[in-house]
Amino acid sequence: MMEDDDAFNVRIPNMSDEMMAAMANSRDIKIDGFSVSARGKPLLTNTSLTIAHGRRYGLVGPNGTGKTTVMKLLARRKIPVPEHIDILLVEQEVVGDDRSALQSVVAADVELQDLRKKKVELEDLMEKLAIGDSSVTEPVFKNEETGEENDLNAELNKTYERLNEKGDATAEARASKILHGLGFTVPKKDGSQGPDRFSMHNTTKSFSGGWRMRISLARALFIEPTCLLLDEPTNHLDLRAVIWLEEYLMRWKKTLVVVSHDRDFLSSVTTDIVHLHDHKLDQYKGSFDQFEEMYEIRRREANKAFEKYEKEMKAAKKASSKSKQQDVKDKAKKAQERKQGNKKNKGMMMDDDDDAPSQLPEKWADYQVKFSFPTPTELPPPLIGLNECSFEYPGLKGFSLDKIDLGIDMGTRVAIIGPNGAGKSTLMNLLAGDLEPTSGESRRSHALRIGRYSQHFVDVLAMDENPVEYLRRKYLKENGSSYKPEEIRAKLGRFGLPGHNHLTPIVKLSGGQKARVVFTAIGLSNPHILLLDEPTNHLDMQSIDALADALEEFEGGVVMITHDAHICEQVLDDEKSEIWVVDEGRVDKFNGDFAEYRKQLVAEIAAELDDEN
């Protein structure tokens, strides 16, 4: 957005001198009655926002409604933020260079680096004066703000004091703990290194984009801005790193605004919810779970009021009485005013504009989407079997999967979990037949059809085609005939792709929109087994709910790599469900369900963080 700031128009009401003075001294961010549009299209209309110091906000709403735009406008101060509040949005991966990940994180604290440099220079100067070096004279240091003058010794002591305040002695240790929490490896106590690929001592340029994004996140956590903005921070994190971040942010003392599709993460981390709905920012006190309850109450009340109003208006119109119609409108407006007065008592702080005109009741505009996968044809078991399989990549030392014994049939439900880089995607490729084991036996039914979703799904899409062209070219009906354009569009619509995007070149679609094209393609392939690698990363909550429902109803097998607890707990809910843990070259079945595994991790990580504090 930096290069495209002019595309966004932010309209802010004039502020009085008193309001400006209050804002200058406030620890909170508060703005009333502002609007945002993009190229003439309204995103927010006459809405309000309050971000109170020390609160942790979840910004939620369907994809495409403007959540990321709000975050960027705050970070760019297009939405007014008091000058004394430092605000930081983690939006780009750190640029790769020759610094290690650890050095990059510590370097994020610019003041600390300047103080360290100043200390070295002053100590060097002090040493030269002590030995009588005639080439140097003792300088006088003047504070530009106070006019106070310091000699060299006083200035050095002042620098030592500020370094101590900044935690200079523990900076590397603090940065190391953050990086370790996010999945980077540290030197072992016996002096040996962990796996080289993920060592925090490796150069930043040696890491992939996803890992450099972790470094950016670590830098932000290390410098602790007054207001931290995180946009989908759990994307591309493994389950342990997600839980560590969740526990870390629960202890965050400053202000936080986070966009996330992860229900459990939001419910644990947030103290308040900001819901972007119908071009407004509606604020709710409490966790995400509480927000969902209040939102449903509000939705039911709004629809009930609309149905009553509509019924009374129909009766008045039938009687051909304009006075009765006006009476119905006046009565409805007064009812809305009473609700407006009660909203704060229910924990809702929507818009906070007491002077806003009362609106007539309207039907609640709710965003809905429904996924579905076709019923697969029956195949005899086993559909996929790995017997005593091992795998190594040629030329890659330090990585292997050994003695894998696994099978998948119709109705199987599996979640694959483990650290990033442990081999989860490799195992998925072995199941799909994209990789052959180095040793052991790999078997799959000759008639088996597999539906694949990977984190690199864009690689399978034809970017120059639109979704309808791509899907019509790639998939035929079971009788061999082609799908009609309207049939493809109906299927795209069921997976939540808006109609105006059906004929848009795929290259111009967002990540979430491309994901919907891939899910539509999977459905068209009539799979017996679904192999899904982080399927929730580009989806909003409503789509994740729809996907979970579709997977629960699907009669074939489902294997997924995911850190999303909500979808795991919904889909893995019967005796055919299994948890496969990939770590240290092994694939082991966990004796318990996903909730038990997650609870175990939470306890371990919480204990670690509490010990550090």
Calpha distance 506→602 (Å, rounded)? 40
How many residues are listed for the chain in this entry? Answer: 613
The confidence score (pLDDT) of residue 382 equals: 87
The confidence band for 352, taking pLDDT boundaries of 50, 70 and 90, is very low
Calpha distance 108→217 (Å, rounded)? 11
The confidence band for 512, taking pLDDT boundaries of 50, 70 and 90, is confident
Question: What confidence tens digit (pLDDT) does each residue in 404-450 have?
Answer: 999 999 999 999 999 888 999 999 999 999 999 999 999 999 999 99
Is a pLDDT exceeding 70 seen at residue 116? yes
C-alpha dihedral, 302 to 306 to 308 to 311, nearest 10°: -170
2-94+212-285 shares its CATH topology with 384-612:
yes
Place of tokens 């209050």: 22
The confidence band for 227, taking pLDDT boundaries of 50, 70 and 90, is very high
Is a pLDDT exceeding 90 seen at residue 375? yes
The confidence score (pLDDT) of residue 351 equals: 40
Average pLDDT in the chain: 87
What share of the chain has pLDDT > 90, as a percent?
62
Residue 24 in contact with residue 8, Cβ under 8 Å?
A: no
**H-only helix segments in 525-593:** 541-553, 565-571
Q: Which residue has the higher pLDDT, 150 or 79?
A: 79
The confidence score (pLDDT) of residue 337 equals: 61
The confidence score (pLDDT) of residue 350 equals: 42
The confidence band for 341, taking pLDDT boundaries of 50, 70 and 90, is low
The confidence score (pLDDT) of residue 555 equals: 94
The confidence score (pLDDT) of residue 349 equals: 44
The DSSP code sequence of 401-460 is: EEEEEEEE-TT-EEEEE--TTSSHHHHHHHHHTSS--SEEEEEE-TT--EEEE-TTGGGG
Mean pLDDT of 346-354: 43
The confidence score (pLDDT) of residue 64 equals: 82
Q: What's the DSSP call for residue 411?
A: T
Give 34's strand partners. Answer: 47
Question: What confidence tens digit (pLDDT) does each residue in 47-58 have?
Answer: 999 999 999 999
Calpha distance 42→39 (Å, rounded)? 8
**CATH code of the domain occupying 2-94+212-285:** 3.40.50.300
What do you get for the CA distance between the two ends of the chain, in Å?
A: 38
Q: Which amino acid is at 383?
A: L
Fold of 384-612: Rossmann fold (3.40.50)
Domains of the chain, residue spans: 2-94+212-285, 102-184, 301-346, 384-612
Question: What confidence tens digit (pLDDT) does each residue in 513-533 have?
Answer: 999 999 999 999 999 999 999
> At CA 261, angle to CA 450 and CA 604, rounded to 5?
90
What is each CA distance from 353 to 31, 33, 46, 47, 350, in whole angstroms? 11, 7, 9, 8, 8
Give 259's strand partners. Answer: 59, 231
The confidence score (pLDDT) of residue 177 equals: 95
Question: What confidence tens digit (pLDDT) does each residue in 448-473 have?
Answer: 999 999 877 777 899 999 999 999 99
CA-CA-CA-CA torsion sign (77, 79, 80, 85): negative
Residue 587 in contact with residue 401, Cβ under 8 Å?
A: yes
Residue 36 in contact with residue 8, Cβ under 8 Å?
A: yes
